[in-house]
Amino acid sequence: MIGCYGQNGHVEDASEIFRLMIVEGAVPDEATFTSVLGACSHGGLLEDSLHHFRAMPDQHGVEHVREHYCCVADILGRVGKLTEAHELLNSMPLRPGAIGWTSFVGACITHSDGIISGVEGVENVLETNHSESLGKHLPYVMLANVLKKY
């Protein structure tokens, strides 16, 4: 439910369901946090996203996985914090994969910032896309869109 609400723009409802879940004693798992972080990302709720991300291991005993890092990188990119998103993708203990880099390149295009970072992101999509099948043409379309902005 949290994921559905978040994907359909009902971020406050998603957050409320998560809050009630915790109050009722339900234990959130990896998938729950992926949904919560995704909802925060879609809603542009950076502080909420960071709060949940930081609380996962200590308060809930849930270790971060690639999807969690990518959700946080996505929200950082959406709100224009491209440097922070780039640093997170490069420093995370797990490889971000094509999905994480695609999100970053999209943020570079949206915010008309970071041609070097955008091109680096496309290079990373090319490097990782073979195993994630985003389509063999997507990285080249993304590169054209990055270069078109400048």
Structure tokens that stand for 117 in this block: 């970072």
The pLDDT value given to residue 146 = 73
pLDDT of residue 101: 86
> What are the tokens at 113?
């910032």
pTM for this model (two decimals): 0.84
CB 76 within 8 A of CB 85: yes
Instruction: Determine what percent of the chain is predicted with pLDDT higher than 90.
Output: 58
Q: What is the mean pLDDT of the chain?
A: 87
DSSP 149: T
- Please report how many Cα atoms fall inside a 13 Å half-sphere around the Cα of residue 71, on the Cβ side: 32
Confidence at residue 127, expressed as pLDDT on a 0 to 100 scale: 75
Looking at the predicted structure, is the pLDDT value of residue 143 above 80? no
The 8-class DSSP code of residue 138 comes to H
Strands (E), 8-81: none
pLDDT in tens, 7-33: 899 999 999 999 999 999 999 999 999
